[in-house]
Amino acid sequence: MVQRVKDIMNKDITIVDGLTKVSEALQIMKDKHIYTVLIKPRNEDDVYGILTLRDIARRVIAPVRRMEEVHVYEIMSKPVLTVSPNMPVSYAARFLTNFNKSWAPVLENDQVVGMISLSGIVLNQEEF
């Protein structure tokens, strides 16, 4: 049986507004023990963004910026790669690695229904 993204995706999604300060987003991430948050679109013509711990390290800590002065929209990645819940996990792994990404929102009918990560894919591997 083929393992699909919907079988291993994380359904507990955290979405924040783009005007959220990085310090607030980081506190949410610490409190929830998560490594990424989605940034909600500003309007119906906009798309989701994503903020990871790596973004914070690379775009705030390394250049010595103050987290309480930087908004998440300034450092997030956008647009993000998305995957279907019905995509085979092996294809999702290839898709993410081909684009050097660790995370992707899972979209169904234009709605985010989960998140998939390379670490989640590896840790949830079944026998082939």
- pLDDT tens digits, 63-101: 999 999 999 999 999 999 999 999 999 999 999 999 999
pLDDT at 128 > cutoff 70: no
- Rounded-to-integer distance, Cα 45 and Cα 36, Å: 23
DSSP one-letter code for 58: I
In tens, the pLDDT along 24-62 reads 999 999 999 999 999 999 998 999 999 999 999 999 999
Whole-number pLDDT of residue 127: 61
Residue 83 Cα distances to 24, 38, 40, 57, angstroms: 28, 14, 17, 26
The CATH H-level superfamily of 5-123 is CBS-domain (3.10.580.10)
Domains of the chain by residue range: 5-123
- Rounded-to-integer distance, Cα 48 and Cα 103, Å: 13
In tens, the pLDDT along 101-111 reads 999 999 999 89
Whole-number pLDDT of residue 95: 97
Mean pLDDT of the 18-25 span: 98
Whole-number pLDDT of residue 110: 86
The distance between the two most distant Cα atoms of the chain, rounded to a whole number of Å, is 49
> Among 40, 51, 37, which residue's Cα sits nearest to residue 115?
37
pLDDT at 126 > cutoff 90: no
Whole-number pLDDT of residue 1: 82
How many separate helices (H) and strands (E) can be counted in the chain? 6, 5
